[in-house]
Amino acid sequence: MATARARKDPDFLLIGAKRGGSTSLYYALLEHPGIIPLFPSADLLPKANHTKGVHFFDSNYERGMRWYRSHLPSQAARLRAARRSGMPVLAGEASPYYLYHPLAAQRAGRDVPDARILLILRDPVERTFSHYRERVRNGAEHLSFEEALDAEAERTAGEEERLLKDPGYRSYAHEQQSYVGQSEYEKALRRWFDHFPADRFHVTSSEEFYRDPQRVCDEAAAFLGLPPAPLARAGEVWNSAPKAEISASTRRRLIEHFAPHNAALEKLVGRSFPDWAAP
């Protein structure tokens, strides 16, 4: 924090979606010589991986911008990396709750207005189920999938309003039990479009990324103003989990629910998502 003034704001934010491939995309982007990790990197501390996200604009905002900038590389570190790579270098973070948190877009728009915004979105049916299964694996969800879907409205009732009313409030239900809510991408993304111009967004899908990670990373790099660069570990999947199946009736229920949300999303971002299930 003592050197926060010497640390530039993030060049990009990877804002979501949770269980949508943001971890895999972020670490793939870090393979680019023009993108450097957050501070302190895994090269400086005995930790397995570079830090992925700071969760400042959602859960740690009360800590202030000096605390936030303390996680970003210093200007001196950027200059050293630029000399090694032979190109200007960028730094950013990936905190997937940013997309859904009701205050994150406003805060980011005010504090880092020049940041570029990356999103990787997953078929909402699969994301919803994956989010639920993550909670089960962590021992935090004891309802069946169908019971959890039915309980979501009651569990999360009033939580967004409390977050808006009390900026220091943290809501487990809003972040962790909003299985369907976090898959209604268009509703959450509109808040970000209210605070950043449309040309500041780059949206891809996890299906595209896992099918062709090199192409997706090259497109993201171009959006950030960087040349293409080969991936050494193309297609590496982070936070993967064993396969499981959704019942046919529940899948139909979710497909029908998400259909109008997906249509609104495609209109908002000006692209389609042909890999996603359609009614």
pLDDT score, position 236: 63
Give residue-wise pLDDT tens across range 221-244.
Answer: 999 999 999 998 765 665 566 677
What percentage of the chain exceeds 70 in pLDDT?
92
Q: Mean pLDDT throughout 196-223? A: 97
The region, left, alpha or beta by phi > 0 then psi within -120 to 50, assigned to residue 276 is: beta
Q: Report the candidate in 13, 68, 20, 18 with the shortest Cα–Cα distance to residue 220.
A: 13
pLDDT over 90 (residue 91): yes
pLDDT score, position 129: 97
Q: Mean pLDDT throughout 90-96? A: 96
Phi, psi dihedrals of residue 13, rounded to the nearest 5°:
-125, 125
pLDDT score, position 174: 98
Q: Mean pLDDT throughout 240-255? A: 87
pLDDT score, position 277: 86
Kindly report which listed range (37-46, 53-62, 64-73, 213-222) carries the lowest average pLDDT score. 37-46
- What is the pTM for the complete model shown? 0.92
Distance, CA of 172 to CA of 152 (rounded, Å): 12
pLDDT score, position 50: 82
pLDDT score, position 237: 64
Tokens of 224: 């950030």
What percentage of the chain exceeds 90 in pLDDT?
84
Give residue-wise pLDDT tens across range 107-153.
Answer: 999 999 999 999 999 999 999 999 999 999 999 999 999 999 999 99
Give residue-wise pLDDT tens across range 7-52.
Answer: 889 999 999 999 999 999 999 999 999 999 998 665 665 566 787 8
pLDDT score, position 249: 96
pLDDT over 70 (residue 250): yes
CB of 81 within 8 A of CB of 162? Answer: no
pLDDT score, position 6: 73
Binned at pLDDT 50, 70 and 90, residue 5 comes out as confident
pLDDT score, position 39: 80
Kind of pairing, strands 116-121 and 12-14?
A: parallel
∠ CA 207-33-49, nearest 5°, is 70
pLDDT, mean over the chain: 92
Q: Report the candidate in 217, 221, 231, 228 with the shortest Cα–Cα distance to residue 25.
A: 217
What CATH class has 4-269? alpha beta
